[in-house]
A and B are shown apart, each in its own frame.
Chain A
Amino acid sequence: MNPRRIGSYFRIFALGYLRSRIGLFFALVFPVILILLFGAIFSNSGVGHVDLYVQDLDHASPASQAFLAALNQTGVVSVHLVSPQAGNLSQWLLQNDQTLGLVIPAGFQAAYLNHTPVRVTLITDPAEPSSSGVVEGAVQGVINGFNLRAAGGTPVVGLATSQVGSQVYTYIDYLIPGLIGFTILTSPMFSMVNISSEWKREKLFRQLSLTPLTRAEWLTAALGWYILISAVSALLMVAVGTAVFGAHVGITLAAVPFLLLGPLLFVSLGLLAGSVSRNPESAAVVGNIITFPMMFLAGTFFPVSLFPPWLQTVAHVLPLYYLIDGLNQAMLFHSAAAYLQDLEVVAVLTVIFSVAAVRVFRWSET
């Protein structure tokens, strides 16, 4: 292994990659498109802002104002006022194609001050059970607060919301490690399958074999490039996720082993797929058979825990599953036990596949 030779080859490999553009598209542009796309689809249907149309028949009394302010502060709903002159709110919602309404009755303040029972009316749509439930919970919470205050009490038991892990995560935080794994899979796989078969036909390996560059040096340079491009891609995805969707994840030190092992694992797998195939066409088929199921079933876009049990079993035999789960542990959940287990599986698979690839992969056709 000679660093000067590795560097010389790395340079033309990188130039060829950058100039061919297709590799660059799949490594950098495509993942960002996926983040923007999936982020846009799923982040907005979260519990962020549900529109609630409120008809205040108490004519903006201090009590009704306070009630609505409290509702707004839950962060769950955003309150929109509907004029009392608009008539029946239920009808109004139908006409305006909305699903959630709240009516504060006339005399709300008077009743509250006199401690006489009074009801606010929540109008929901059975077709939207999740947002209805969320709003109902929020309204109930505000009502409880008002009742407690009216009874002159102070809250004893409070609720601090928290999720698994130390921070509050949204879908985008989950999506980013998945897509980093996705890129670590696709970017080396597609190139290596193509290179290991096509370059034989194109006599490019023969040309390299006329120089002192060794196979091991060639492999090291290519691997170095895929590690670099995967790291750049990962940083780019984190940056876009943070800037556009307010993601909380970052590349932690714990993620680094996966960013190094992942490319080696899939460079090796790509070389194997390309080497066992007779020609570039069948190599592409073999590569796709390996790559596509992994792309979708390894927890890239959706948590594997949402899958039916039999599909979860399938997911657990895919190498990418452990890579993505490991990245999730490293970047989101920080469970040391699960992290180490994933790292172990990825490391063992990487050793197996890379040793096999070095054994099977040849520069010459025969």
Chain B
Amino acid sequence: MYGGSSAQDVTDAIEVEGLVREYGSLKAVDGIDLRVRRGEVFAFLGPNGAGKTTTVEILEGLRPRTAGKVRVLGLDPWTDRRSLIPRLGIIPQDFNFFPKITPTEALRFSAGVFGRPVDVRALLRRVQLEDKARSLYENLSGGQKQKLGLALALAHEPELLFLDEPTTGLDPQARRAIWEVIRSLRKEGRTIFLTTHYLEEAQTLADRVAIIDRGRLRVVGTPEEIIQRHGTGDRLRIQGGRELAQALRSRLEQPVGYEDGYVEVGLRRREDLFAIMEAVRDSGLPWGEVSTRRDTLEDVFLRLVSPEHRDELRLPEAA
């Protein structure tokens, strides 16, 4: 654990009430209320143009707000920015650094400007970048650049980290390396505010998730809560034809769906599956592979966000 027992530790890491940001007549953020507790990983999801980055940049102190109350570590990120900077670690979206500088030099620079000694070698090992310690930034791969961004965000031991799409465009290996670091940061008791396009990432890493769409929060909670509340529950999934779906509908009370050679039957209790399989046998129709399926965060997300945005969602690659 890091940090002392100052009075501010009692408050939430981030408190937002009625946050509004307008660009001319466009309301990019339209009244958001949000609380991020100390020590949690909070994932902030939303399609492109939903107001995600605007919100994050307001919290980071990079942008002023039009209206609302914002407290980050008990301070106003816009007016108290200078005292907040040393306590925040940030990977901005599209992280970039000086092309002719090596990761080692970049971290020494960070140590110098933050006035805090950095064990460069240990930090580079932590983000799995030690073999590129002396390569120029311009010669690093996308994943290696992002790892340097993470190392720079960590170097001054911040209390609160903002990671804005830290794994976008990375290969699964690099993504998992960054996940590992995020998990270890959480263990150290740091607070992490994560935005991502990958719902799998949010579901794996986050204690709580918020989904923003068109400048408003649609839902906030743990991934489990969200799936419980907005999902359709467990389903039994049976490989079979339309006839099987018809036969089951006449024999069962539960809703029965059919899609692409699979029949899906809602499960209220686990014991339901015996009755369902009996009905399958009774129908005398052919059937194949059987599995239970549960809504993922992604299913819920797709149901919640505006239809015109769904195409922009980047689905996780098969790892």
Chain A residues with CB under 8 Å of chain B are 2, 4-5, 7-9, 11-12, 15-16, 19-20, 202-204, 206-207, 209-213, 364
B96 at the interface (CB under 8 A from A): yes
- CB pair A12–B85 under 8 Å, yes or no, is no
- CB pair B113–A212 under 8 Å, yes or no, is yes
Q: In the complex, which residues 83-99 of chain B have their Cβ closer than 8 Å to any Cβ of chain A?
A: 85-86, 88, 90, 92, 94-99
- CB pair A8–B108 under 8 Å, yes or no, is yes
B112 at the interface (CB under 8 A from A): yes
When distances are taken between beta carbons in the complex, the residues of chain B under 8 Å from A203 are: 92, 94-96
Min distance, Cβ A202 to any Cβ of chain B, angstroms: 6
Which residue of chain B has the shortest Cβ distance to A8 in the bound complex?
Answer: B112
In the complex, A359→B112 CA distance in Å?
A: 27
In the complex, A8→B111 CA distance in Å?
A: 8
When distances are taken between beta carbons in the complex, the residues of chain B under 8 Å from A16 are: 98-101
- CB pair B92–A12 under 8 Å, yes or no, is no
B115 at the interface (CB under 8 A from A): yes
- CB pair B109–A212 under 8 Å, yes or no, is no
B105 at the interface (CB under 8 A from A): yes
Q: Tell whether A19 pairs with B85 under 8 Å between CB atoms, given A9-B109, A203-B92, A213-B113.
A: no
* Sample of 8 A–B contacts (CB below 8 Å): A9-B112, A12-B98, A16-B99, A20-B100, A207-B95, A211-B113, A212-B86, A212-B114
In the complex, A203→B108 CA distance in Å?
A: 20
Q: Tell whether A12 pairs with B105 under 8 Å between CB atoms, given A207-B92, A207-B97, A211-B85.
A: yes
Q: Tell whether A7 pairs with B97 under 8 Å between CB atoms, given A12-B106, A15-B105, A212-B86.
A: no
Specify which of A8, A15, A211 is in contact with B100 (CB 8 Å cutoff): A15
When distances are taken between beta carbons in the complex, the residues of chain B under 8 Å from A209 are: 62
When distances are taken between beta carbons in the complex, the residues of chain B under 8 Å from A204 are: 96-98
- CB pair A19–B136 under 8 Å, yes or no, is yes
- Range for the number of chain B residues in contact with chain A: 20 to 34
Which residue of chain A has the shortest Cβ distance to B83 in the bound complex?
Answer: A212
- CB pair B94–A212 under 8 Å, yes or no, is no
When distances are taken between beta carbons in the complex, the residues of chain A under 8 Å from B105 are: 11-12, 15
In the complex, A204→B99 CA distance in Å?
A: 10
Min distance, Cβ A270 to any Cβ of chain B, angstroms: 18
- CB pair B95–A5 under 8 Å, yes or no, is no
In the complex, A364→B63 CA distance in Å?
A: 10
B195 at the interface (CB under 8 A from A): no
In the complex, A213→B176 CA distance in Å?
A: 32
In the complex, A19→B60 CA distance in Å?
A: 32
B110 at the interface (CB under 8 A from A): yes
Which residue of chain A has the shortest Cβ distance to B137 in the bound complex?
Answer: A16
Specify which of A15, A20, A202, A212 is in contact with B85 (CB 8 Å cutoff): A212
In the complex, A290→B220 CA distance in Å?
A: 55
In the complex, A2→B115 CA distance in Å?
A: 10
B82 at the interface (CB under 8 A from A): yes
When distances are taken between beta carbons in the complex, the residues of chain B under 8 Å from A2 are: 115
Min distance, Cβ A350 to any Cβ of chain B, angstroms: 27
When distances are taken between beta carbons in the complex, the residues of chain B under 8 Å from A5 are: 112-113, 115
When distances are taken between beta carbons in the complex, the residues of chain B under 8 Å from A15 are: 100-101, 105
When distances are taken between beta carbons in the complex, the residues of chain A under 8 Å from B60 are: 210
In the complex, A318→B82 CA distance in Å?
A: 40
Min distance, Cβ A6 to any Cβ of chain B, angstroms: 9
Of the candidates A16, A20, A364, the one having the most CB atoms from chain B within 10 angstroms of its own CB is A16
- CB pair A12–B101 under 8 Å, yes or no, is yes
In the complex, A15→B108 CA distance in Å?
A: 13
